[in-house]
Amino acid sequence: LLCDPCHREIDKENPDKYSAELLRGMKREHEEWVQTVLSAGPESRSHILQFSATIGTNRTAIPIDECTRAMMPKKTPASATPIEIKVRGAHFADDDQNYWALEIANLRHQMETLQIKHRMEKGEIRHLSVFGLAPMPLLIEFGRLLSDISAVTVYQLHREPQEQGWKWAEDEPPMSFQINKGRSGPDRVALKLALSAKIDDCRVTSVLGDDISIWEVTCSNPHNDVMRREDDLSSYRRVIRQALEQIKQVHGPEANISIFPAIPVSCAIELGRVWQPKAHLAFDIFDQSGQSGFQHRHRIQS
């Protein structure tokens, strides 16, 4: 059984295009998809939460069908429509300081209006599947607002192959992370997060000066499509937590931390989620701004 437009397309307008074999294959594929969805059970239901913002001059969008494909078969959409948070920068570009003040306030307002934590406490939302595409500082703040809620799965957009989309590729061996400690002494600390690309120390000292301790979280082969496995994101969470705790131990509770991120979008969200106001120090976020180098954009604090 088909809808009227499809009947017209197959039976009248292009009958030679649709053989019996092709139609049976389409039917079989759809039946398998329905069986997968129905066999998952109610505990698999997850609300899709999309966060998008303008990056440079580019508007961002996250297609709902790509989100659904990324979730299944582990999770199935709890609603036909996603929970959406969009910040569009008004008439400011993201290299304008006004952009950050406006859009961080906009993000916080939308999160408060949606009452996500309250709805989870009431049981209206059991699980969140999170898809974020925005500048680094906004993604980190978004993660902070989500906090370390356990019933959250964060997804990563893959550049190659393009058809992979947001679904975890699982096509690489496990990542190996390392924490490179800075020198003890200074109470001003720079933490480089070098997963998508390497960050030379001179790019940090040109902003903060030489009297700093430079720490680094990196991996064996930084590149812009490095986060391929869901388990690697969990490992990254543990490593970031360790780095924040070690910096506090070495430099004391009054240390000033500045973070320089070159990380995938999922890692930026998880950085915000990992940070705990009672356990970790506040930190400033610097973001690359075209040819101007790193610029201060936002501060994460209790």
pLDDT in tens, 221-230: 999 999 999 9
Q: What is the pLDDT, as a whole number, of residue 263?
A: 98
Question: Which segments of the chain have a pLDDT < 70?
Answer: 33-34, 36-42, 56-59, 89-95
Instruction: Give the global pTM.
Output: 0.86
Q: What is the pLDDT, as a whole number, of residue 56?
A: 65
pLDDT in tens, 10-43: 998 998 999 999 999 988 888 876 676 666 566 7
pLDDT in tens, 141-152: 999 999 877 799
Q: What is the pLDDT, as a whole number, of residue 124?
A: 92
DSSP secondary structure letters along 48-116: EEEEEE-BTTB-----HHHHHHHHTTT-EESSSS-EEEEE--TT--TTSHHHHHHHHHHHHHHHHHHTH
For the chain, where are the E strands, in sequence order? Answer: 45-53, 76-77, 83-87, 128-133, 152-154, 177-180, 188-194, 213-219, 256-262, 283-288, 294-300
Partner residues linked to 178 by β-bridges: 218
Kindly state the tokens that stand for 130. Answer: 């999170």
Q: How far apart are alpha carbons 266 and 130 in whole angstroms?
A: 9
Average pLDDT taken over every residue of the chain: 91
Q: What is the pLDDT, as a whole number, of residue 59?
A: 59
